[in-house]
Structures are given as structure tokens and as C-alpha cells.
Chains A and B, each alone.
Chain A
């Protein structure tokens, strides 16, 4: 089983719908991240969390919200999806000790908003 699991892997939805992408990890890491990937723009940080009580906005948080339900779970919500939120979304984790360490990514969730 993957250490970082994202669900759903693919989702097609309509404008205005609420969508939740879920991420769970078995690596025991404190830090979790949500990134969005668009062609030619690389990976852009949406939100990050350093522990259950610490959630922070990234570069492109508008239109998104997150919830850290437990150390192992970090969910990304689109309250009212719009077409330009069509993208590939990645969850990632890293350990805390010694500063930033290697990021471990989930397999990605491809979201299409019609």
C-alpha cells in the first residue's frame, strides 16, 4: 500500500459543486501539504500544515479550504468549484526534524470542473 494515499484519483464535477479531496498517510510525518499542478506552471502550494493545530495558506489558497482531522489526515475542499480549478492536485508529507526534508507525494487527484 502507498504511504500517502489520495482519494478520489479522478473526479469530474460541475461548476458550483462542493468537492473534497482527501489525503491520508502512514509515514507518521507531522507536515502535510496540498499542491496544485498545471501544465507549464509546475507545482504551486495551496495550503500546508505543520501539525493538527497549525494550518497555513500557501501561494494560491483563494477558493480552497483545508481540514487537518488528525496527524495522518489532511483534506482539501473546494466550496464552489469553478472551471479554472481544473488541475492535478497532489498531497505531500515531510518529517519535521532537521528542517525541511524530502517530500513524499501521493499519486495525485485529477479534478475536472465543467
Chain B
């Protein structure tokens, strides 16, 4: 049930771009993106609430394809500060149940 993220890890040089994908086997109604730096707590980046919605946060943006049950995070002209592990998060609801669960994570390292 846990959303699957790809790639699992990526190494970039400063200024390069990257795309992180989050795919779910179940319907997605909203997607959140978080970044966790080593030894720290995850920090919220953005939420996408509607299918097809796109949002931006500095040079980090995301899209949400409800039909494909996917979301993608785009990191443009990466900076050293972008290094960390990125997680997508989503609500999973069912009869009498609710869960807020996270994807498997993508480790991103930006080199000078």
C-alpha cells in the first residue's frame, strides 16, 4: 500500500535538474511532499490537492496526475541545500479507516 518512489537515490552536480516520482496502487486524493535532511525531521514542501494541479516552491515544483495515481517533484538548477531524502505522503481512506502514509523515499545528493 505504501506509495513507491523512483528513483531510490540520485546524485547530481550543482545546477543540474532532477525528477522524483511517486506512484500509488490506490487512488490519490492529495499528495504532500517533504524533505528530510540527514539527522533531522521531515519538513513540509508543498501539497497538491487536485488532479492536474501543479505547484512551485522556489525552484522546486510538483505535479499531480490523479488518473495515473502519480505525482512528480521537479528540482530545477539544484543547489547544495537540496540534498536530503524526499518523501511523498498521502491519505489512504477506507470504510472506517484512515491512514496518512508516506512513500518509500528518494535520497538526493547534490555535489559541488
A-side residues, CB < 8 A to B, are: 33, 35, 40-45, 48, 56, 58-59, 90, 94, 99-108
Q: Please tell me which one of the listed residues A45, A102, A107 contacts residue B32 in the complex, with CB atoms under 8 A apart.
A: A102
**Are A48 and B100 closer than 8 Å at their CB atoms?**
yes
**Are A105 and B42 closer than 8 Å at their CB atoms?**
yes
Chain A, residue nearest B91 (CB): A100
Which of A48, A100, A104, A105 has the most C-beta atoms of chain B within 10 angstroms of its own C-beta? A100
Query: With a CB–CB cut-off of 8 A, which chain B residues contact A58?
Result: 99
Closest 6 CB pairs of A and B: A105-B41, A43-B102, A102-B44, A42-B105, A42-B102, A42-B104
Interface hits, B21-44 → A, CB 8 Å: 30, 32, 34, 40-44
Interface hits, B42-70 → A, CB 8 Å: 42-44, 47
The SS class assigned to the B binding surface is strand
**Are B41 and A45 closer than 8 Å at their CB atoms?**
no
Chain B, residue nearest A102 (CB): B44
B89 CB within 8 Å of chain A: yes
Additional pairs, 13, CB under 8 Å, beyond known A42-B87, A90-B41, A100-B100: A41-B104, A42-B102, A42-B105, A43-B87, A43-B101, A44-B102, A59-B1, A59-B99, A94-B100, A99-B30, A101-B47, A102-B32, A107-B40
**Are A106 and B32 closer than 8 Å at their CB atoms?**
no
Closest-CB distance, A5 to chain B (whole angstroms): 11
**A45 with B101, Cβ < 8 A, contacts A103-B89, A107-B40 known:** yes
A61–B43 alpha-carbon span in the complex (Å): 24
**Are A40 and B101 closer than 8 Å at their CB atoms?**
no
**Are A45 and B99 closer than 8 Å at their CB atoms?**
yes
Q: Mark B78-99, 1 if CB is under 8 A from A, else 0.
A: 0000000001010100000111
